[in-house]
Structure 1
């Protein structure tokens, strides 16, 4: 992963002290000799304030701080680009840069890279890597704003002789998963080992607020329908954002993933739930969809206020809430698997009154087909009524056929 950034240090040196004059600074156990040009490079500062006074220009400034940390600060003053080796050195440099009021160095330290410790491993990555729309503001922008609110700038530590110790950003999350996220952000390639790995990565995206990367990781499929010549996106019901869904009377509903998609595509909604049924009304000769529970509530939230009159929420005697959503449905172009077998077109008509002899063993005015998995497009027609147009579905008629699908551990 590239560690280059756009940050540039201003090379101009203000004429504060005589450039050719040498100044002595004793830091810890070491004596540093710096030219007036170096001392003036990042000014006004603690040093220019001291040596700028006539009575101090030939004195040795003694500072009770770490000479190892000041070694890098000295390189900065001499015009070199410096970089902290890890999150702890960053905090040491920041504390002393604050103490010495070195604004150029402070800017570089806080606006160049993000430093953190995740799961016991040190990370350093360019802030630009997570600065795009949807990925910012994020965990690190907030953490840095909190961590680097120096009390010196607020005048709260006037009588303190040295900066207080500050801890770096330490995150008790998976270092491996964080590495995977950084690789995805830097390369643009999403590498997912399996569905469990995907769920873990999605959880990490939400924790760090990498919302654009989250949208790329969400399971989906984009393809062009050769018959309509329209691009379609298949995405699960739970992952659809209402604000990004558009339903008009002119055609099927379209969807544009937030922060990721430049254009909207025809939405193919995938539903995997035990709360979905296809109801075949034998005497009335029509079919409709019934969703219950959380699936009904999710669909109602997504589609309301459209077809709100088809939604029912009833409080039962035990205090529980029973929710139902009925939808009009078209299966004309749906590839349907029933009880593990592919059906013919308009197969459901065999259940209507006077239908096929093969269906006579199923009694009742309503045949309930439990939909294990299904995909639908959503259309608005018939005075604004919503219709679910079947694309792909897999259902069972009874417990035995459901059990046949279980499989063994």
Structure 2
């Protein structure tokens, strides 16, 4: 026996029925092998319709209206006209009822169906997809609503343009090349069951499925993130959407970039983003310390460079771009750094650069000119003044002053030679 809840309209029920047909008169409708007898009250409850237009004609009052359709589907319509809520058991039953109610012109039933859960077949398994998932900002329009809208429009256009004697055949949305198990987990997560996510690999599979079905709000809920003790939001660079970024800085006031996950009702927080060597080559992110200019910078190349440009393109217009690379000034105040498995002291950068009186990080024009000098120095034959540290994992803030931007290190893990040290990152 099906345990699906019955379909019910969300609008307030109106017991008054217009007298389109005499309420006390009984009319006969033959559907396939079964005869249905309905009162004028029942037929008028969802009118005007194919039925009321037929029986309103005086010559048709005593006739039996015949349809060569499935009487099991018409049973649902029969119950609806009698005032009962109806229960739909599977995807084909839903589509057939949907198709017939449009053909018969039952507008109230159309509205009820359009407000209810949808059905789809994913990987040979039928799913009931709740409106609480498919009809909220970020999740709509999606794969299923687009399919059902097209089904509705195509049905109406065909019936009206060709004056068809019966509705055209329709099939429910079917996705054979996706996993039914993953879709089940996706529905469970949408209901608040966060424990359904088994590990990071499983999370990535669910995110991929959410993107496929265009559940963008659900995708944001699935993305791994955490809040720091100071209230910053920490995300992997690959999980950041440009839509969620906010630059609160001005030309006079330097501030960190803020972030809010799109479609999620939460406040903007300072953004800390993570870059991992498992996502990019280890040589694509380097700390470069120039003893001549006394400037610490970070050089980002190739795929990592492309990713940062893609995410932060509206906020790094003044950053030096050299072919396929980005070069940022970088600050280290209150940061934690591990190099070759060893935790560095808070003043390690100034010690390596030979700076006795460190100054506060800024993005002045003077420092920007020095970056240009450093870019040229890296190609000189004298490499003794350049120290390069490859970063395997790193946490950063993007700090802006108007259109000027620099990176501020939060936690770094790097090496000047091979290192197997692991630290607690995202």
TM-score range, shorter chain: 0.7 to 0.9
The unaligned stretches of length 5 or more in structure 2 are 357-382
Q: 2:63 aligns with which of 56, 59, 62?
A: 59
Which of 365, 371, 396 is residue 415 of structure 2 equivalent to? 396
Write the mapping of 1:228-307 to structure 2, written as runs, cut at 5 A. Answer: 231-247=231-247, 248=249, 249-273=253-277, 274=282, 275-304=284-313
Q: Which residue does 1:209 correspond to in 2?
A: 214
Could you tell me how far apart the structure 1 residues matched to 2:99 and 2:316 are? 61
Q: Deviations over 1:147-178 (max 9, x none)?
A: 111544662121x3222211111112211221
Q: Choose which of 3, 16, 30 in structure 2 pairs with 1:26.
A: 30
Gaps of 5+ in 1: 226-230, 315-322, 356-362
Q: 2:335 maps to what in 1?
A: 334
Query: Are the aligned partners of 1:151 and 1:157 in contact in 2 as well (CA < 8 Å)?
Result: no
Q: CA 1:189/1:11 → structure 2, altered by over 3 Å: closer, same or farther?
A: farther
**Change in 2 beyond 3 A, CA 1:310/1:23:** closer
1:367 corresponds to which of 381, 384, 387 = 387
Structure 1 vs Structure 2 CA RMSD? 2.6
- What TM-score, normalized by structure 2, do the two folds share? 0.82
2:172 aligns with one of 144, 153, 168: 168
Structure-1 residue corresponding to 2:102? 98
| 1:91–1:342 Cα change, 3 Å | same
1:17-54 per-residue CA deviation (whole Å, 9 max, x = no partner) reads 11112222222122222111112221112221222222
Give the conservation status (yes or no) of the 8 Å contact 2:330–2:406.
Answer: yes
- Where 1:73 maps in the other structure, the secondary structure is helix
Shift of 1:283: 4.0
Measured in 1, the distance between the counterparts of 2:134 and 2:355 equals 64
Higher mean C-alpha displacement, 1-10 vs 196-205: 1-10
Residue 204 and residue 10 in structure 1: after superposition, are their counterparts in 2 closer, same or farther (change >3 A)? farther
TM-score (norm 1): 0.85
Contact kept in structure 2, 1:375 and 1:390, CA below 8 Å: yes
Instruction: Give the 3 Å change call, closer, same or farther, for CA 98–386 of structure 1 in structure 2.
Output: closer
Shift of 1:60: 2.1
Q: CA deviation at 1:10?
A: 4.6
- Residues 236 and 69 (structure 1), Cα distance of their counterparts in 2 relative to 1, 3 Å cut: same
Q: What is the aligned partner in structure 1 of residue 226 from structure 2?
A: 221
Give yes or no for the alignment of 1:7 onto 2:26. Answer: no
Cα distance per residue 1:315-364 (max 9 Å; x no partner): xxxxxxxx111111112311111101212222234434699xxxxxxx72
Task: Compute the displacement of 1:379 (Å).
Answer: 2.1
